[in-house]
Amino acid sequence: MNLPFFIAGWSFVDGVRELPEPSPGPLAVGCWYHFQRDAQDTELRLRLAGIPLSAICSVLAEDTRPRFELLDDGNFLLNLRGVNLNEGETPDDMLSIRILFYNGVLISTRKFPSRAISDIRSELAEGLGPRDLAEVLVAIIDKLHQRIEDFVEPAETLIAEQEDEHSTEESELMPLNKRLIKLRRFLKPQRFALEDMLETLPALLLDKRLALANARDTAARINESIDFYLEHIALVGQYQARWHSEKVNRNTYLLSILSGVFLPISFLTGLFGINIAGMPGIDNPLAFAVFSISLVGLVAIEVILLKRWRFI
């Protein structure tokens, strides 16, 4: 399927206005363009726009971790990740947003639709949202983090609900643990990418140091929350495993006690049940009653001894 190259564009020169699809060639300064990364002519169109091949390769790479790379003359590349909230997709299979600032033009690319980008486009269409390219970049970061927080936050409630559950057969902790580990795989380098951007701080973002610091702190808080949830899940899992082990040991112990109690009885009933001549009490009508009472007495003596020896 041949996907369209151009998704959306906005100019922030002399106000905010939506742009039509640009013609092949240089892109307008002061504008934000959002492109489909896996469209057939994306690479060609970016080359015609004067983007260096090295930057194009980074923007169109199939699989990459979050990172920040400062290019020459204040240009930079920022790769970010967000939860995949598209229908039929798994949120922890995080989608990638590639952002390139080159010679006054902000370019973002996607492979799958991002709710964060959609929110910004909706706000711009309503006359709200960012007023310049720096605010667009900060808004993308904040919206991505907001969606991640909304996805991670319910984990605390789920863990609390499972904490008092003893059965591990229907536990939701293992799937949750896997989701959080997959999120952490990308969110830790995302925090480092934002730290690198703050340290170098390109000219475009000189006035956004505080906003970027808040975004970095948000990334750090999300990572800390995920680490806490993973440790909590591990503790709950250990508790459930210990409870299950104790239950098995207790049942095994009770079975051993019962076996010990009935072993002498089984021996006596087997001995007196043999069908040969000479067994005592064969001709005595009270023999069975006496034998039964003796067995009850034997059980009582065994119980007394087990209690005295603190087996039960």
What is the rounded distance in angstroms from the CA atom of residue 215 to the CA atom of residue 232? 26
Helix 173-200 × helix 133-152 angle, to 10°: 160
- Spell out the per-residue pLDDT of the chain, length 312, in tens: 567 889 999 999 988 999 999 999 999 999 999 999 988 889 999 999 999 998 998 888 877 789 999 998 889 999 999 998 888 788 888 899 999 999 999 999 999 999 999 999 999 999 898 999 999 999 999 999 999 999 998 888 888 887 766 555 556 788 888 889 989 989 999 999 999 999 999 999 999 999 999 999 999 999 999 999 999 888 887 777 777 777 777 777 777 777 777 777 777 777 677 666 666 766 677 777 777 787 788 778 877 776 776 666
Instruction: Mention every residue, 6+ apart, whose C-beta is less than 8 A from residue 66.
Output: 79, 80, 81, 186, 189, 190, 192, 193
Report the 10 Å Cβ neighbour count for 77: 19
How many residues does this entry show for the chain?
312
Helix 115-125 × helix 133-152 angle, to 10°: 130
**Assigned token pair, 312:** 């039960």
**Assigned token pair, 303:** 């119980």
Scanning the chain, the segments in alpha helix (DSSP H) are 42-48, 53-60, 115-125, 133-152, 154-163, 173-200, 209-272, 287-308
* E strand segments, 88-187: 95-102, 105-110
Residue with tokens 């087990």: 306
Bridging pattern class, strands 17-18 and 6-11: antiparallel
What is the rounded distance in angstroms from the CA atom of residue 279 to the CA atom of residue 100? 101
How many angstroms from the chain centroid is the CA of residue 158?
13
**Assigned token pair, 292:** 């039964």
Tell the burial category of 242 from Cβ atoms under 10 Å away from its Cβ (0-12, 13-18, 19+): exposed
**Beta-carbon-side half-sphere exposure of residue 65 (alpha carbons within 13 Å):** 13
